[in-house]
Structure 1
Amino acid sequence: MTFRTIMEPFRIHSVEPIRMSTREERSACLEAAGFNLFRLRSEDVAIDLLTDSGTGAMSRDQWAGIQRGDESYAGSPSWFRFEAAVKHLFPYEHVIPTHQGRAAERILFSQIAGPGKTIPNNTHFDTTRANIEFTGATAVDLVIAEGRDPASEHPFKGNMDLAALELVLETADVPVVFMTVTNNAGGGQPVSLENLAGVRALCDRFGVPLFLDACRFAENAYFIKTREPGQAGREIEHIVREMASYADGMTMSAKKDPMANIGGWLALNDDELAERCRTMLILTGGFTTYGGLAGRDLEVIAQGLEEAVQEDYLRYRVRSTAYLADALAAAGVPVVRPTGGHAVFIDARALLPHIDPLEYPGHALAVALYREGGIRACEIGTVMFGRRPDGSEEAAPMDLVRLAIPRRTYTQAHFDYVAEVVAYVAAQAEELRGLEITHEPRQLRHFTAAFSPIR
């Protein structure tokens, strides 16, 4: 018997208080933060859905691992447990720890990218694109057409467009092909094993390595199990290992599926490239057996990798995210379908058609959610992706608002509250107005830019 209630496969051991603020207080907070939700104090946020990166709740066994952490500078037992846990799922020859995923990206692209190079991906996320462009290389997004349609019900909207990839490989200098699993910028959409195999075949044909941006590998594997024909009877970790087998390496933020508060790694098979990357790690991050992390962090990641592939947890994770998406859809709020694993994505461009993309409808909606209900969300649209390397600006393919769900942190009552606030704001959509940027840095502007409402 399958029951409708989504029961968390854990008990709550400790709690944190949430400070309840007024609308007037939140309006003042927005003014002080330049209408940038990244610049808010977290204590002024009721429900924090800005990101699922490093914001989840650690388990009993992860906290126990902190006590076991060994802080030796080189060759710590915690390092060897971490390395073994990574290789159990991702059997690459070299594992290079980093303090988080963008550090792995920086190390890798500093060695293989540069002017004249082109790096394709299904869809690059923000720091990946920025690290590529910082070297002078070009980042190209090649997701399938369905991945650019929020309403499409295609089960694997994160898939790479193979014909487009073949054309890029024929005409550009490509040092590596990347696949982001799941595809965060496209709505948390998964990639199929069939598509990974197709990308692998093209990379073999052109002699180009394939890497995974594997932050949400476990959620992607769960979608393969539940959506891809012939995969239903397989264990999650077996699917993960097959995903890894199609690639020559990976970058990883352990702040996502491994459920750690900090950490990441770069893993690969190329001996000579690994040596150069380790040298860069020592120069910029730390020794090769800690990579800027404490031993206790390595222990937490090792345990988190074990817990991340537990099917009961993944079933709860995916179903609870879908619960929120279904509640919003029932209220008439346009959301990206089908639901991804780590977040619900609202189609702000569809909800706010009266706001021009260059007046940032996604950001306008995110600001309204905070003002009305204390919910902090993240714009995934023209603010994040609209600025070109030459300083010009254009509308992003989609303007979305991401409600990222921290792992094992919020309950059904929290989701019901979020749905109520979103529905309330959506009912007043015609009254919302866009914003203009009053200050922005040259790169990754969404983190620190300042805004002003357009009157």
Structure 2
Amino acid sequence: MTGYPPEPWRVKMVEPIRATTREYREQALRAAGWNPCLLRSEDVYVDLFTDSGTNAMSDRQWSALMRGDEAYAGARSFYVFEEAVRAHYGYEHVIPVHQGRGGENILSRCLIRPGTHIPGNMYFPSTRAHQELNGATFHDVIIDEAHDPSCEHPFKGDVDLGKLRAVIAEFGPESIPYVSIAATVNMAGGQPISVANLAEVGELAHANGIPVFLDTARAIENAWFVQQREPGWANASIAEILLALCAVTDGAVMSSKKDSLVNIGGWIGLRDSELAEKARGLVLLYEGLHTYGGMAGRDMEAIAAGIAESVEEDHVRARIAQVEHLGGRLRDAGVPVILPLGGHCVCVDATATLSHLPRTGFTAQTLAAAVYLQAGVRGVERGAVSAGRDPVTGENRFPPLEFLRLAIPRRVYTRSHIDYVADNVIEVHQRRDDIVRGLAFTYEPRHLRFFQARFAPDGGETIFAR
């Protein structure tokens, strides 16, 4: 893709954002324990912490809210929502949940027992947390190229079939409840899996009696990369490719807060009726009735409208273009970024940027703090803090990739905002030697610690040389 196409929308309503001073931001970050996640949103100028639930809804989605049927049981809005999921993702049984994490909890409780093993194409923090809390061990079977930030393999989300066979051989099919596949792979920088590879994974797993479950939160972006990169798919629509990705799987968990352009909501999609009944029973306990699952009727109406909008070619093209523009500017200025650029984010390689600091100082968390202090731009650490501790040894995990993720919400920021981010990240990179120390925990939660952990500069009052 060349150039930066005009956004395929125009502004109808605005929300003010406030620029702050460096002194103000330093006070705010100290109060937040040097964790941008704990900042108040009013103290953030451009918020790239996540693209989850931060999207701008369309006029069609806002009008759909008014059609919400808020009946407790059997609301009409559920059936509108159900039909949209069936039509675009292809799963017969559609079970609503309040967001993707709720679906991960239900699926894990349905299928996992202590001592089992889950292979997958790289971990995601909340997914692995649910798997481990229910007694499973996660095994990364992604291709080696996914761990190399400079490698430009077009499908770094692909599974290494040899690694998957080895896990099956070592532990036996009876010890593997399912294969966990993400489309795209968040912790690799938003990297896609090819349709061909996913089909091979399904063939191998099913031959051993093992189901395959898909994280479809950003499968639309995965479909775009298939269309652009995978032989044989150039003339297929995004909607057709999305169905093809889902067709070889046994079910899916969806956080509608991503691709479906809403602020809350999700679902579990299944093909097996017996498993679906079991899941509905647990939804009743943990989420709500099986026809609302923690959502209001208006939320389900907005999701149904958002699903239809999400597969529009102009929308996906513009969404990817924003990511490419930011990533291209950083790359051209010499900032080390994860390549190829992903679908929802640009990831700055913190290990390369702050190579003079030890990883025990949590370099990605340190870089996130530096970028916020520079410009009021909030990103999120993806590295040792997110990886957590090994449940057996208690030691910090240090994954091969350690990066600052800048996730771009859909239909929220303009090119001028993206350029502002690029200008300031480039400046931080150019002055990276001024960052002389990393961060250390002052409070460490047990699970998903990147959300609520607190830090302090390790051996000084600030991460910068004074």
TM-score (norm 2): 0.96
8 Å contact 1:6–1:319 — kept in the other structure? yes
8 Å contact 1:386–1:396 — kept in the other structure? no
1:4 CA displacement: 2.7
**Within 1, Cα distance between the matches of 2:62 and 2:211?**
37
8 Å contact 2:4–2:322 — kept in the other structure? no
8 Å contact 1:359–1:434 — kept in the other structure? yes
What SS does the aligned partner of 1:179 have?
strand
Choose which of 351, 368, 390 in structure 2 pairs with 1:366. 368
Amino acid at match of 2:15: E
**Within 1, Cα distance between the matches of 2:423 and 2:129?**
36
Deviations 1:16-37 (A, max 9, x none): 1011110000000011011111
1:396 CA displacement: 1.6
Match of 2:83 in 1: 84
1:48-447 maps to which residues of 2 (within 5 A)? 48-172=47-171, 173-390=175-392, 391-432=394-435, 433-447=437-451
**Within 2, Cα distance between the matches of 1:17 and 1:141?**
43
Match of 2:31 in 1: 32
1:335 CA displacement: 0.4
Amino acid at match of 1:55: T
Amino acid at match of 1:345: C
1:10 CA displacement: 0.6
Q: Which runs of 5+ in 2 are unaligned?
A: 461-466
Choose which of 439, 450, 455 in structure 2 pairs with 1:451. 455
Deviations 1:366-397 (A, max 9, x none): 00000110000000001100421132213122
**Within 1, Cα distance between the matches of 2:397 and 2:310?**
38
What SS does the aligned partner of 2:201 have?
helix
Amino acid at match of 2:165: E
Match of 2:463 in 1: none
**Within 1, Cα distance between the matches of 2:439 and 2:206?**
46
Amino acid at match of 2:444: E
Match of 2:464 in 1: none
What SS does the aligned partner of 2:77 have?
helix
Amino acid at match of 2:213: F
8 Å contact 2:217–2:259 — kept in the other structure? yes
Moved more, 351-360 or 44-53: 351-360
1:3 CA displacement: 7.4
8 Å contact 2:4–2:321 — kept in the other structure? no
8 Å contact 1:116–1:137 — kept in the other structure? yes
**Within 1, Cα distance between the matches of 2:332 and 2:227?**
27
8 Å contact 1:219–1:314 — kept in the other structure? yes
**Within 2, Cα distance between the matches of 1:435 and 1:131?**
27
1:215 CA displacement: 0.4
Amino acid at match of 2:36: L
8 Å contact 1:159–1:191 — kept in the other structure? yes
Match of 2:40 in 1: 41
8 Å contact 1:8–1:316 — kept in the other structure? yes
**Within 1, Cα distance between the matches of 2:16 and 2:328?**
28
**Within 2, Cα distance between the matches of 1:287 and 1:198?**
37
Question: Kindly, what percent of the aligned residue pairs are identical?
Answer: 48
Q: 1:3 to 1:396 in 2, by over 3 A?
A: closer
Match of 1:15 in 2: 14
What SS does the aligned partner of 1:211 have?
strand
Moved more, 197-206 or 55-64: 197-206
TM-score (norm 1): 0.98
1:5 CA displacement: 3.7
